[in-house]
Amino acid sequence: MIDLHTHTIFSDGELIPSELIRRAIVHGYEAIGLTDHVDYSNVEHVMKNVQKARYLENIWDIKVFPGVEITHVPPEEIAPLAKMAKELGAEIIVVHGESPVEPVVPGTNAAAVKCPDVDILAHPGFITEEEARVAVENNVCLEITARSGHNRTNGHVARIGKLAGATLVVDTDAHSPSDLITDETALKVAMGAGLEKKEALEVLENSRKLIE
């Protein structure tokens, strides 16, 4: 399992990085992205701390990617904040997309897919085909999410992503231990979004390509 969207106590997750990573290993994780929620008020604090979790790579058989999830930030500030996060050491940059279960500012999806520093547009809700095509141009992946609530539009995201030729990934958006999943469950999430098994398996491989 490669999961590039998770949260620790440095935002609204329940676990410190070492416990989250240990529990991920038990679920068969090969790699994990620690992508806590950030805006300008906390990005330096988050990056300073989550990068320290990389020491576990020398002890346990897992790759740890410190990163951020840019969350509820005005669309015009996404690109400069993404650049700032990268300069601070973020290796995975996620943007909190226009999920149907949160009041995300309209225009967030459009701003995120235009930004070459962004790796993943998380749970992008009713993303348009045009936005998905822009994501392709800028190598921004679209997320099929395992997280309850956000996953209501997985079918739409998969359909639009396929139409546009976008790169799809499956992540958990884990906030608690129970949110972590296995490869088998990730496959079910992808197939539940309407993908054929062969397509779903290819989607699971996309995360590997993202970190190579």
Distance (Å, whole) CA 122 – CA 98: 8
Six token digits for residue 195: 């993908």
113 and 135 in contact (C-beta within 8 Å)? yes
Amino acid residing at 37? H
- DSSP state letters, 40-91: TTTHHHHHHHHGGGGGGGGTSS-EEEEEEEE-S--HHHHHHHHHHHHHTT-S
Confidence (pLDDT) at 190: 98
CATH number assigned to the domain comprising residue 132: 3.20.20.140
Please name the amino acid found at residue 137: E
Written as tens digits, the pLDDT of the chain (212 aa) is 999 999 999 999 999 999 999 999 999 999 999 999 999 999 999 999 999 999 999 999 999 999 999 999 999 999 999 999 999 999 999 999 999 999 999 999 999 999 999 999 999 999 999 999 999 999 999 999 999 999 999 999 999 999 999 999 999 999 999 999 999 999 999 999 999 999 999 999 999 999 98
Please tell me whether the overall predicted TM-score, pTM, comes out greater than 0.95 for this model: yes
> How many folded domains does the chain comprise?
1
Its domain, for residue 105, covers 2-211
Nearest to 113 by CA among 82, 72, 148: 82
Among candidates 111, 196, 176, which has minimal Cα distance to 93? 111
DSSP 162: H
